[in-house]
């Protein structure tokens, strides 16, 4: 029976991963559609669309799905929804601040779903502006550590393009810039012959909240519940989870 139960557990985990993967694909497709509708369907003239398409390709979203999303957003193929961008603010366990970005065709549904997910998982919704002042909008380019790439090599490549800082994430480097310099930094990375995993605008918390094991579990559970919502695109927090706590959670 142990063999059977192990197989059942593996099957269950795979189903969960596939479900998450399906949701991730759907969110990327929605992002592409909105980018094409906002800035046009020409990738060369629409950096936001270009980066959204590149991210989808790197995540193995099928090319057919990507092309159809670009066409729907650009108006050459019907069926696209009128998505609106909304950002909600909330507090999680231990006073962690949260910014929740949504793309939705139903504001009431999005608001209700986010509120339920937050309040059921130990968080509270916050008034507009009461959390956002703790975050800065930044451009982030994630560059994997391939072929012995060092921080100095990367700094040399992006310094003149407007990069503010480089953070070591373990398996990759994170290049931080002002949002207006994102395209220039991403271009500098490519021109240096380097690959990148993603290039996008993000919110970065200015006052990190350190978490212990228990606090990290609660916050990650809340983030999972919010990210599971179809209307939610991104969740940003100022949670600071130490490496040793993260390793412990992954082992569990």
From 74, 92, 109, the end of a domain falls on 74
Residues 111, 13 share a domain = no
Given this model, what pLDDT does residue 19 score? Answer: 67
Given this model, what pLDDT does residue 134 score? Answer: 94
pLDDT digits (tens, 9 = 90+) for 46-92: 999 999 999 999 888 999 999 999 999 998 887 767 899 999 999 99
Residues 226, 120 share a domain = yes
Domain holding 188: CATH number?
3.30.70.980
- The domain total for the chain is 3
Whole domain around residue 139: which residue ranges? 135-205
pTM of the model: 0.85
Residue 221 lies in a domain: yes
Residue 35 lies in a domain: yes
Given this model, what pLDDT does residue 6 score? Answer: 44
Given this model, what pLDDT does residue 139 score? Answer: 94
pLDDT digits (tens, 9 = 90+) for 219-231: 999 999 999 999 9
Residue 160 lies in a domain: yes
Residue 79 lies in a domain: no
Residues 215, 129 share a domain = yes
Concatenating the DSSP letter of every residue in the chain gives -HHHHHHHHHHHHHHHHHHHHHHHHHHHHHHHHHHHHHH-S-GGG-HHHHHHHHHHHHTT--HHHHHHHHHHHHTSSS-----EEEEEEEE-GGG-EEEEEEEES-HHHHHHHHHHHHHHTT-EEE-TTTTGGGEEEEEEEEEE--TT--HHHHHHHHGGGTEEEEEE-SSEEEEEE-GGGHHHHHHHHHHTT---SEEEEEEEESS-EE--HHHHHHHHHHHHHHHTSTTEEEEEE-EE--HHHHHHHHH-
Residues 234, 125 share a domain = yes
Given this model, what pLDDT does residue 7 score? Answer: 47
Residues 146, 246 share a domain = no
Does the pLDDT value for residue 9 go beyond 80? no
Given this model, what pLDDT does residue 107 score? Answer: 95
């Amino acid at each position: 029976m142990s063999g059977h139960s192990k197989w059942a557990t593996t099957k269950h985990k795979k189903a969960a991963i596939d479900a998450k993967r399906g949701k991730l694909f759907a969110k990327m497709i929605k992002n592409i559609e909105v980018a094409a509708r906002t800035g046009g369907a020409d990738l060369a003239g629409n950096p936001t669309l270009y980066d959204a398409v590149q991210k989808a390709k790197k995540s193995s979203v099928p090319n057919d799905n990507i092309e159809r999303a670009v066409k729907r957003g650009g108006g050459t193929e019907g069926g696209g929804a009128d998505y609106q961008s909304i950002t909600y603010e909330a507090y999680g366990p231990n006073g962690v601040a949260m910014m929740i970005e949504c793309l939705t065709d139903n504001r009431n549904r999005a608001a209700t779903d986010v509120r339920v997910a937050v309040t059921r998982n130990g968080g509270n919704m916050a008034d507009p502006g009461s959390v956002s002042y703790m975050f800065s909008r930044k451009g982030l380019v994630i560059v994997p550590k391939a072929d012995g790439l060092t921080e100095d090599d990367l700094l040399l490549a992006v310094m003149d393009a407007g990069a503010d800082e480089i953070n070591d994430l373990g398996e990759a480097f994170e290049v931080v810039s002002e949002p207006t310099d994102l395209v220039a930094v991403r271009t500098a990375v490519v021109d240096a012959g380097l690959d990148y995993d993603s290039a996008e605008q993000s919110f970065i918390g200015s006052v990190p909240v350190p978490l212990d094991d228990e606090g990290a579990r609660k916050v990650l559970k809340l983030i999972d519940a919010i990210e599971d919502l179809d209307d939610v695109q991104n969740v940003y927090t100022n949670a600071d989870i130490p490496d040793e706590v993260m390793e412990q959670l992954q082992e569990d």
